[in-house]
Amino acid sequence: MTGIVTGRLDVPEADLSVPGGLPDPLVCEDGTPVRTPEQWWERRRPELLDLFERQMFGRTPSTPVEVRTQVVEVSEDALSGRATRQVVRLSFGPDGSSTTVDVLVHLPNAASGPAPVFLALNFRGNHAVEAGPTDGADLPAKAWPLAAMIERGYGVATACYEDVDPDVDDFGNGVHPLFYAAGQTRPGPQEWGAVGAWAWGLSRILDHLLENPRVDPNRVVVVGHSRLGKAAMWAAAQDQRFAMAVSNNSGCGGVALSRRRVGETVEAITGRFPHWFCPTFATYANREEALPIDQHQLVALVAPRPVYIASAQDDGWADPYGEFLGGRYASPVYHLLGVEGLAATEQPALSEPVPSRLGYHIRPGGHALTGYDWERFADAADRHLGRP
């Protein structure tokens, strides 16, 4: 790698705080333009994945790990009989006890065939996701609208992200040690951080879901809020079995452009959360123009699969306009692959979703995953994957 970005996207100067424009997803590092889908799949896409691995998230190990699956609970009449609820414990590692992840799955009983599923990690444990009344309004703030999603024909699968890897700057716990060489105590400079581990966890939960005949293998949508939105996008970029990806307020390190330096910056995020990325990413603090990548290219790695980006008006830390631009400048890759990109060149008004294959909304309010957001994710999945 030369470190010199040769292809530049034409971006209004006012949109970026660093010189040099944005790296062009359709120009290879040696300056070769990408003119055909074959060049994208065979050359540019692997090159970009490699850059995100080495410069930002660190490399995810490909070594298979032993997994044990234990069904802990099953109830066929959850949510007033509308859903089957399962808790499945996945244990990773040779003795099956090193790291355990409890996956909570709700599947619609009314489905006539395999159901599409939203898969999202949660922050506070599975109990918080399903807390509160299951019928009607007044959901506690952190609960998810499980009944509403089931009603629309979607299953919902979740696990607590800290089951996969605790969110602390300590690499002695979680899944990282499963992959260490003898004597190793933390990942190397270009090996995965916590976001990479959470993304890996999403793929392992997907492995499990794909064994369930009641899950439609072609319609598993990975969703994530905030730091888990970063993980969801990285999971979908690496694992093409995810049919669609949803970024909710993912901000810096998610879909917001780093070169804007609006809200959270590379300096801020790597200072407060050094364990999220590989150490190399921190070296770009205050020199974002030297990054060979930016976050529109993370979105582009999911193409041509649908991506839905959700922002919130008062979530300045996540830079809503930067999130919009992350989608907008991924569009050329969608077009090259023969599908529509983000059908808006201006950020839309509040609560006016852009329903294109690369979709977007900004709603009033702050940093949160709300019922409104979930309804729009289901609208996007209905439209682009087929209504259940």
Between 215 and 262, CB nearer to ligand GCU: 262
* 361 classed as catalytic: no
Other Cβ atoms closer than 10 A to 125? 18
Residue 98 — φ and ψ, nearest 5°? -65, -50
Rounded least distance, CB 312 to ligand GCU, Å: 12
Q: Are 333 and 384 in contact (CB under 8 A)?
A: no
Between 21 and 251, CB nearer to ligand GCU: 251
Which of 99, 100, 107 is closest to 74 using CA atoms?
107
Q: Name the token pair of 316.
A: 């300045």
Catalytic residue among 17, 98, 203, 367: 367
Between 252 and 310, CB nearer to ligand GCU: 252
Between 193 and 251, CB nearer to ligand GCU: 251
Between 269 and 309, CB nearer to ligand GCU: 269
* 226 classed as catalytic: yes
Rounded least distance, CB 271 to ligand GCU, Å: 10
Which of 186, 157, 188, 190 is closest to 174 using CA atoms?
186
Which of 308, 311, 358 is closest to 331 using CA atoms?
358
Rounded least distance, CB 90 to ligand GCU, Å: 23
Rounded least distance, CB 321 to ligand GCU, Å: 16
Catalytic residue among 226, 247, 250, 331: 226
Please enumerate in sequence order all residues whose Cβ is within 8 A of that of 329, keeping only pairs 6 or more positions apart, or say none: 9, 11, 22, 25, 257, 296
Q: Give the interface with ligand GCU as residue ranges (CB under 6 A).
A: 226-227, 251-252, 264, 269, 317
Other Cβ atoms closer than 10 A to 204? 18
Rounded-to-integer distance, Cα 186 and Cα 11, Å? 39
Please enumerate in sequence order all residues whose Cβ is within 8 A of that of 137, keeping only pairs 6 or more positions apart, or say none: none
Rounded least distance, CB 316 to ligand GCU, Å: 11
Give the residue numbers annotated as catalytic, written as ranges: 226, 367
